[in-house]
Structure 1
């Protein structure tokens, strides 16, 4: 298993080793020790989510209040998605930046994102099935979204007509979310992860 940091601090791409023969394929899609060695802290597992999406569905950009935030370990178990991490931490050197990773059922990559980062994806196939491991449970009133089509973010979604939920379509822009104090502060995120013993985040 290879864990590679992305350009946004606190985000990583994970590529597992796969073992295939005439019967099929085996892989370890999550290893707590390999992830901990890379990010400096184990992922506290509190909830596991699964979503299935039609082609061109865009989910996100979602994030949670920090603390406790919600770190995520995301993979696509069937089909393919373009997974996007967005730095929405006010004061971060890469605030407003985003990075995309192809997740599919061939390379079986995963993405880890720390608390305070925004997350979304676009389904590239019908029936794209995404599994998430989360560090905290869903908390109504503490989970938020940013308009995934916000021109200021400029995310290049690979869909001619992105299919959004009503909630995501009505989410505020990055600037609106910042102006209303909705976004997490970079220093608060750094302090929170440091309190958990994370060594290089």
Structure 2
């Protein structure tokens, strides 16, 4: 497993080592011992989530507030997404900055997202399966988000040959500057 830093402090790209032979392939998706050795972080993932989406679905930018904040380890099982995270930690030197990466079932790349980040993804292929581990349980009263097209964030979402599909809830999210963190 290789772990690389991103431009956002505490956010890491994880590239599992893939083993292939005539039978197929194998990779270790997560190893807490190696993760801790390379990042200094000791995590206890308590919840796994999975979504299936069609091309053009845009989910996010979501996060949990306060004591229900979540660190996440995200990956794509089938298909591909443009994954985007935004640093919303007010005292961070990278506050308001974003990082974007393509995750796919083919590249097996994963992204570790620390607490204090908003997260979203744009689905690039039909029937994409997206999974993520969380280090804290979901709490509806603590959910929040930022509108995907906040002009101050200036996120460069991929242009697709279909319109983006967002939930009504995600279309009504505030800009980062309007959030009470």
Question: Structure 2-normalised TM-score?
Answer: 0.94
Deviations 1:148-183 (A, max 9, x none): 111111111114432111111100011111xxx2x2
The equivalences for 1:19-30 within 5 A come to 19-30=19-30
1:76 matched residue in structure 2:
76
Tell me if structure 1 keeps the 8 A contact 2:62–2:119. yes
Offset, 1:66 = 2.9
1:66 matched residue in structure 2:
66
Which secondary structure state, in structure 1, belongs to the residue aligned with residue 115 of structure 2? Answer: coil
Deviations 1:37-94 (A, max 9, x none): 2221222111100011111111111111133410000000000111111111113211
1:6 matched residue in structure 2:
6
**Paired positions, count:** 179
Query: Considering only aligned residues, what root-mean-square deviation do their CA atoms show, in Å?
Result: 1.2
Which secondary structure state, in structure 2, belongs to the residue aligned with residue 141 of structure 1? Answer: helix
> Matched residues in 1 for 2:91 and 2:113: separation?
18
Which secondary structure state, in structure 1, belongs to the residue aligned with residue 66 of structure 2? Answer: coil
> Matched residues in 1 for 2:171 and 2:37: separation?
38
- Flag the structure with higher strand content: 2
Tell me if structure 1 keeps the 8 A contact 2:63–2:69. yes
2:36 matched residue in structure 1:
36
1:174 matched residue in structure 2:
176
Q: Any unmatched runs of 5+ in structure 2?
A: none
> Matched residues in 1 for 2:2 and 2:17: separation?
8
Q: Any unmatched runs of 5+ in structure 1?
A: 184-201
1:153 matched residue in structure 2:
153
The runs of 4+ residues in structure 1 deviating greater than 2 Å are: none
